[in-house]
Amino acid sequence: MTTPSPPECVQIGPIIAQDSEALFRWFNDAHTARLDYAWRPVDGLSHQKWLASLGTDPTQIWFAIRRAAQGPIIGFAILRNISAVHRSAELGVRIGEEGERGRGLGKDAARQVLQFCWQVLNLHRVQVAAFADNERALRLYTGLGFRREGILRQAQFIDGKWKNVVVMGLLRK
């Protein structure tokens, strides 16, 4: 029996102009989007406006996920609803291409974002929300130490069906 290889290491960093094409493609991937929100197509002009606005909202931070510092973007992470008063935020992570998923890359990136939350932003609490049927996301967050705090029943209407949303939280040690 062979031992599984360790997950590949990734680096988080700023989103740059060269990431625009991949991000545009991922935002318009209806199948993947439906794993965590109601998909709505994004047009090119809105995408460029969004890209130009990155860094202007103090309540959110977007990170590019890369295998190497200068490598191509393979995914992204977001901290949103950052509250300095309550020392809290919400986390989201996505590896862009299906073939890149399931290798531990998202988990490695999420660990780095959490370290940023604790060490740089001095947050006390980070929460996530995932559809109750998104087992991959629930495993990821459980593996990072998040604990289930509740279920929002029939909170999202996706593809003609109501979905429950699991809310999980992680407190700074």
Element (DSSP H or E) covering residue 103 = none
Element (DSSP H or E) covering residue 20 = helix 20-27
141 in catalytic set: yes
The answer to whether 39 touches 49, Cβ cutoff 8 Å, is no
- Secondary structure of residue 64 in the 3-state scheme: strand
What averages of pLDDT result for each successive group of 10 residues across the chain (173 residues)? 56 95 91 77 92 94 89 95 98 90 93 98 98 94 98 93 96 95
**Annotated catalytic residue: which of 141, 166, 168, 170?**
141
The pLDDT of residue 7:
52
Region of 87 on the Ramachandran plot (φ > 0 left; ψ -120 to 50 alpha; else beta):
left
Residue 113: name the closest of 103, 123, 99 by CA. 123
The pLDDT of residue 6:
53
HSE, side-chain direction, 13 A CA sphere, residue 26: 20
The pLDDT of residue 164:
96
